[in-house]
Amino acid sequence: MDDPRILVTGGAGFLGSHLCDRLVASGRDVLCVDNFFTGSKRNVAHLIGQPHFELMRHDVTFPLFVEVDRIFNLACPASPVHYQYDPVQTTKTSVHGAINMLGLAKRTGARILQASTSEVYGDPEVHPQPEGYWGRVNPIGIRSCYDEGKRCAETLFFDYHRQHRVDIKVMRIFNTYGPRMHPNDGRVVSNFIVQALKGEDLTIYGDGSQTRSFCYVDDLIEGMLRLMDSPAGFTGPVNIGNPGEFTMLELAELVLKQVGGASKLVHKPLPADDPKQRKPDIALAQSALGWQPTVALEDGLRETIAYFRKLLAS
């Protein structure tokens, strides 16, 4: 397809805005849709007025009638602070949003990519997590609105694929960080950086031995684009993330080393259902997409800290 018309839902969010940047830079026509619950016009302000970019306020829990060739479905609050604020709406966004976007893909014949999450694995008993692992998720906990909403969305994608032959791609995103993260999203990277820049103590939940794997946003978007452009027979799901594994204590020390200052570490109780380990098995992404992350955590943190330093100063 020479010049596809591309819809990005959640396009004014952290990941969505970086995706819009890449697509517009490549000369694609992009319709960015967002209800601005966690997304911000500031993230795409530099694109407004460009001939290949259009911004629309819309909530994906309602049907959308547009003509497009490709759909990136990224709409959903992705941090516990935001998705637990209105858990019913979070589930609606994942489930009704998937139904509406899949319906649009079915009508227009568009290829559609679902931004799923490593949270579908829950608090895993298998480490690292391969795509064939079905997960260990609490269906009635405080994180369930997001975890189970995303799991149900994957179910819908594969049922639309089997029943209606919709051309789908499903990616499971592991912890991603970088410029344009929301400063108050409660995620560990933004938490540590903002606290350190403000000279506050860094909050460690539990003993800090729980691990996460952090993927820089540029690497993540490259993986997303490669998955969208992969052959029609390859649906995923496919893990996209950085297999480098760090404890929360190690991350805190890296942030303090780069920011400086006299911040100390303070410990608070571990939230309910917080996974103890999170690390992607990316063998499938490497073999099927020729993708693997290239940005080291230290380098990505440097860019992210510079962004937050400028944001807080303004």
Enzyme catalytic residues: 146
The answer to whether 206 touches 197, Cβ cutoff 8 Å, is no
Q: How far is CA 24 from CA 70, 141, 239, 264, 272, in A?
A: 14, 40, 25, 42, 40
The answer to whether 283 touches 238, Cβ cutoff 8 Å, is no
Q: Is 99 exposed, middle or buried (0-12, 13-18, 19+ CB in 10 A)?
A: middle
Give the β-pairing of 111-117 and 168-173: parallel
Structure tokens at 28: 């694609």
Report the C-alpha gap between 78 and 150 in whole angstroms. 10
Report the C-alpha gap between 113 and 121 in whole angstroms. 19
Segment holding 112, helix H or strand E: strand 111-117
**CA dihedral sign, ordered 105, 106, 112, 117:** positive
